[in-house]
């Protein structure tokens, strides 16, 4: 599954409202995103199984430089254990891959993206002023941004972890990337993206900004990031990008054929549910709410075309298993989903 960070509706907005240079950058990126989507196939993690798996607890990273071309993986510029290269994109990608590996290993006991020690590969300086980052089923790919709207795409740890989580989802649930299952796919990537950042910074629920892509927008854009998990719809409001269209409740659910049925838009509903659950449980979100969502993702009962209700019911079930039938924690998870208009059953 090829998943890109910047949704097509943002690129469309730039094409309609940007300068000639901005329009060209967005148009070229959007054409590439469309080509990726049309080439979508089964997850390709299995094609890498023949590669030597890394030792449990130890990441095996390699960062490549595409040199503004689009051939992957590009020239190897930093391998595992080598010192910093001095190139911010290379070194940020290297550190972010490591931080994501450490989160999944130390918090959830998962040995890399596939759970079996797959090496982590990243390519930076992809394309010319490429305004996106994506997981292509085998590796991470980062554009440099245009410098006017978007900074380099290695700048935000949660963005890197978000894209790598798509690989985890491919491996576990293979959630269909369309409509509500696609929105769940995007939301889960946001959930584990923000948890990776919180874990790296040792932030509590209250200390986190709950912003996906903080630092990715340049100072010329009126926005905090791409998405707000705490307040969907409030991440940006800018003459060029428009207003963040994410809903926070099912009554605002967006019915559209664009964006694979609104996968980047309606993910705000599930994001808000996770935020509400994490806030109610308190402390570190990776210690209570995070494992419930992870257990749900890994549950064999989770169908690849699951909708919000399906996921919410399994969430409550796993909260009951983890914290006890009728516990305050399980009730908090059920209430979080109810508060966004999703029925999950009672704990």
Question: According to the model, what pLDDT value does residue 331 have?
Answer: 96
Asked whether 159 and 99 are in contact (CB, 8 A), the reply is no
Cβ partners under 8 Å of residue 265, min gap 6:
7, 9, 183, 245, 246, 247, 254, 256, 259
Look up 264 and say whether it is catalytic: yes
Residue of 32, 111, 264, 284 marked catalytic: 264
Asked whether 309 and 345 are in contact (CB, 8 A), the reply is no
Cβ partners under 8 Å of residue 42, min gap 6:
none
Number of Cβ within a 10 Å radius of residue 82: 13
In degrees and rounded to multiples of 5, residue 160 shows phi and psi of -65, -45
Domain locations in the chain? 3-172, 179-339
Number of Cβ within a 10 Å radius of residue 44: 15
| CATH code of domain 3-172 | 3.10.170.10
Residue of 163, 166, 172, 284 marked catalytic: 163
Cβ partners under 8 Å of residue 94, min gap 6:
61, 63, 78, 84, 122
Question: According to the model, what pLDDT value does residue 346 have?
Answer: 65
Per-block mean pLDDT, blocks of 10 residues, the chain (347 long): 80 94 92 64 44 75 96 96 97 98 97 93 95 91 95 96 94 96 97 98 98 97 97 97 97 95 97 98 97 98 98 97 96 97 80
Question: According to the model, what pLDDT value does residue 200 have?
Answer: 98
Question: According to the model, what pLDDT value does residue 43 have?
Answer: 43
Tell me how far apart the terminal alpha carbons of the chain are, to the nearest angstrom.
34
Question: According to the model, what pLDDT value does residue 33 have?
Answer: 72
Question: According to the model, what pLDDT value does residue 198 have?
Answer: 98
Task: Summarize pLDDT for 193-202 with one digit per residue, the tens.
Answer: 999 999 999 9
Question: According to the model, what pLDDT value does residue 46 have?
Answer: 45
Question: According to the model, what pLDDT value does residue 37 have?
Answer: 54
Cα–Cα distance, 111 to 155 (Å, whole number): 25
Task: Give the residue carrying structure tokens 């996770």.
Answer: 274
How many whole angstroms from its chain centre is CA 84?
26
Cα–Cα distance, 170 to 42 (Å, whole number): 9
CATH class of the structural domain 179-339: mainly alpha
Task: Summarize pLDDT for 6-62 with one digit per residue, the tens.
Answer: 888 999 999 999 999 999 999 998 888 777 654 444 444 444 444 455 678 889 999
Look up 80 and say whether it is catalytic: no
């Amino acid at each position: 599954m090829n998943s890109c960070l910047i949704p097509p509706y943002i690129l469309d907005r730039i094409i309609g409202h940007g300068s000639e240079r901005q329009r060209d950058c967005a148009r070229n990126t959007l054409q590439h995103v469309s080509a990726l989507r049309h080439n979508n196939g089964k997850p390709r993690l299995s094609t890498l199984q023949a590669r030597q798996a890394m030792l449990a607890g130890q990441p095996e990273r390699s960062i490549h430089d595409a040199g503004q071309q689009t051939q992957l993986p590009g020239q190897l510029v930093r391998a595992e254990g080598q010192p910093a290269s001095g190139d911010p994109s290379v070194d940020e990608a290297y550190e972010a891959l490591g931080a994501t590996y450490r989160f999944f290993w130390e918090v959830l006991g998962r040995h890399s993206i596939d759970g079996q020690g797959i090496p982590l590969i990243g390519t930076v300086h992809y394309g010319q002023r490429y305004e996106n980052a994506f997981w292509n089923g085998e590796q991470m790919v980062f554009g440099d941004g245009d410098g006017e709207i978007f900074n380099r795409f290695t700048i935000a740890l949660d963005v890197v972890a978000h894209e790598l989580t798509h690989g985890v989802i491919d491996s576990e649930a293979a959630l269909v990337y369309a409509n509500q299952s696609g929105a769940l796919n995007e939301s889960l990537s946001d959930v584990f993206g923000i948890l990776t950042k919180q874990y790296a910074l040792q932030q509590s629920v209250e200390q986190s900004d709950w912003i996906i892509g903080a630092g990715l927008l340049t100072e010329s854009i009126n926005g905090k990031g791409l998405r707000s998990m705490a307040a969907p719809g409030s991440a940006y409001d800018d003459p060029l990008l428009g207003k963040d269209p994410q809903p926070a409740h099912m009554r605002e659910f967006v019915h559209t054929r664009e964006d694979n049925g609104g996968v980047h838009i309606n993910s705000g509903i599930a994001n808000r549910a996770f935020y509400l659950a994490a806030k109610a449980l308190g402390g570190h979100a990776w210690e209570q709410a995070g494992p419930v969502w992870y257990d749900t993702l890994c549950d064999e009962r989770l169908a690849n075309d699951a909708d919000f209700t399906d996921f919410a019911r399994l969430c409550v079930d796993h909260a009951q298993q983890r914290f006890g039938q009728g516990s305050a924690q399980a009730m908090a998870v059920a209430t979080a989903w109810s508060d966004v208009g999703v029925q999950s059953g009672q704990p």
